[in-house]
Amino acid sequence: MAARSTGSPWRTALLAPTGLAAAAGLAVLVLLVIFGPVIWGADATTADPLSLSQPPGAVHLFGTDAGGRDVLARTMTAARLSVLMALAASVFGVLCGVVVGSLPSVMPPRLGRAVVSIFNFAIAFPGLLLTIFLSVIFGQGATGALFAIGVSIIPVYARLTHTLSSSVGGRDFVAAARILGVGKVRVVARHILPNIAGPLIVNASVTAGGALIAFASLSFLGLGVQPPEFDWGRMLNEGLSKIFVNPATALAPGIAVVLAGIVFTLAGETLARATGVNPGLTHRLPRWIPRPALPAGNVLDDVSGNASGDAVLRVRNLRVAVPHADGWREPVKGVSFDVGRGEVVGIVGESGSGKSLSCLSVAGLTDFPLKVTADTIVFDGVETLRGEHRPAGVSARAVERLLGTRMAMVFQDPMSSLNPSLRVGGQVAEAGFIHGGLTRRQAWAKAVRRLADVKIPDPARRARQHPHELSGGMRQRAMIAMGLMGNPALIIADEPTTALDVTVQREVLSVLHDVQVDSAAAILLISHDIAVVTGLCSRVLVMYQGEIVEEIATADLVAGRARHPYTRALLAAVPTMDTDRSQPMATIAEVPA
Partner 1 sequence: MNHLEFRNVSVAFGHGPRRFVAVDDVSLSVPAGKIVGLVGESGSGKSTLARAAVGLCEPSAGSVLLDGVQVSHARGANARLRQRIQMIFQDPSSCLNPKLTIGQSVAEALDAAAKRAGTRTGRAQRAAETARLLESVQLPAARAADLPAALSGGQRQRVALARALAAAPGVILADEITSALDVSVQGSVLNLLRHIQRELGLGILFVSHNLAVVRYLCDEVAVMQSGRLVEHGETMTVLDHPRQDYTKTLLQAVPRIGEPLFAPATGMIQISEGAR
Separation of alpha carbons 236 and 211, rounded Å:
16
CA–CA gap between residue 492 and residue 411 (Å, rounded): 8
Cβ atoms of residues 550 and 562 within 8 Å? yes
CB-wise, 109 or 309, nearer to partner 1? Answer: 109
Query: Is residue 489 near partner 1 by the rule CB under 8 A?
Result: no
Site for partner 1 in 291-330 (CB under 8 A): none
Scanning residues 514 to 543, which ones bind partner 1 (CB under 8 A)?
A: 514-515, 517-519, 528-532, 534-536
Pick the piece of the chain touching partner 1 (CB under 8 A) from 5-13, 209-217, 385-393, 576-584. 576-584
Q: Which residues contact 419 (CB under 8 A, 6 or more apart)?
A: 427, 467
Distance CA(540)–CA(534), nearest Å, equals 8
Stretch that binds partner 1, among 3-11, 44-52, 206-214, 448-456 (CB under 8 A): 448-456
Q: Is 590 in the site for partner 1 (CB under 8 A)?
A: yes
Nearest Cα to Cα of residue 281 among 498, 13, 531, 551: 13
C-alpha to C-alpha distance for 483 and 345, rounded to whole angstroms: 18
Out of 64, 237, 505, 567, the only residue in the binding site for partner 1 (CB under 8 A) is 505
Establish whether the linkage from the previous residue to 194 is cis, with ω within 30° of 0. Answer: no
The phi-psi region of residue 537 (left if phi > 0; otherwise alpha if psi is between -120 and 50; otherwise beta) is beta
Distance (Å, whole) CA 394 – CA 524 = 25
- When asked if residue 401 is in the footprint of partner 1 (CB under 8 A), the reply is no
DSSP E strands, 358-472: 371-379, 382-387, 407-410
Span near partner 1 by CB under 8 A; candidates 320-328, 359-367, 407-415, 573-581: 573-581
Q: Interface mask (CB under 8 A) for partner 1, residues 68-107, using x and -?
A: ----------------------------------------
C-alpha 247: how far from chain center: 46
Q: What is the C-alpha to C-alpha distance for residues 246 and 556, in angstroms, rounded to an integer?
A: 93
With respect to partner 1, which residue has the nearer C-beta, 50 or 180? 180
**Which one of the spans 210-218, 310-318, 407-415, 578-586 is the region binding partner 1 (CB under 8 A)?**
578-586
342, 522 contact by CB (below 8 A): yes
Cβ pair 350, 529 in contact under 8 A: no
Applying CB under 8 A, which of residues 453, 495, 550, 551 lies at the interface with partner 1? 453
Q: How far is the CB of 252 from partner 1 (least distance, A)?
A: 45
Question: Does residue 455 belong to the site contacting partner 1 (CB under 8 A)?
Answer: yes
Using CB under 8 A as the binding rule, whether residue 585 contacts partner 1 is answered as yes
d(CA 485, CA 491) in angstroms, rounded, equals 12
Q: How far is the CB of 468 from partner 1 (least distance, A)?
A: 15
β 344-348/522-526 pair status = parallel
CB of 1 or CB of 38, closer to partner 1: 1
Query: Which one of the spans 19-27, 285-293, 318-326, 499-507 is the region binding partner 1 (CB under 8 A)?
Result: 499-507
Q: Which of residues 241-300 bind partner 1 (CB under 8 A)?
A: none
Which of 570, 491, 561 lies closest to 529 in space, CA to CA?
Answer: 570
| Span of 21-29, 59-67, 310-318, 442-450 interacting with partner 1 by CB under 8 A | 442-450
Give the count of residues interacting with partner 1 (CB under 8 A). 71
469 interacts with partner 1 by CB under 8 A: no
Q: Which bin fits 222, alpha (ψ -120 to 50), beta or left (φ > 0)?
A: left
Is 89 within 8 Å of 149 (Cβ atoms)? Answer: yes
Q: 409-438 mask for partner 1 (x: CB under 8 A)?
A: ---------------------------x--
Q: Tell me if 4 contacts partner 1 by CB under 8 A.
A: no
Q: How many residues does the chain have?
A: 593
Sole window of 122-130, 378-386, 391-399, 497-505 interacting with partner 1 (rule: CB under 8 A): 497-505
Binding-site member from 78, 347, 511, 542 for partner 1 (CB under 8 A) = 511
Pick the closest to residue 410 from 428, 425, 426 (CA basis).
428
Ranges within 153-192 binding partner 1 (CB under 8 A)? 171-173, 175-182, 190-191
Which x/- pattern over 539-568 shows residues binding partner 1 (rule: CB under 8 A)? ---------------x---x----------
State which of residues 126, 194, 222, 565 lies at the interface with partner 1 (CB under 8 A).
194
Amino acid letter, 535: G
Tell whether residue 509 is a contact of partner 1 (CB under 8 A).
yes
Q: Which is nearer to partner 1, 302 or 580 (CB)?
A: 580
User: Which positions ≥6 away from 218 have C-beta within 8 Å?
Assistant: 131, 132, 135, 145, 148, 149, 224, 233
* Gyration radius from the chain CA atoms: 33
Q: Segment 327-346, which members bind partner 1 (CB under 8 A)?
A: none
The nearest distance, CB 106 to partner 1, in angstroms, is 17
Look at residues 109, 88, 108, 107 and name the one whose alpha carbon lies nearest to residue 99: 107
When the beta carbons of 245 and 325 are compared against partner 1, the nearer one is 325
The only residue of 287, 389, 397, 581 in contact with partner 1, by rule CB under 8 A: 581
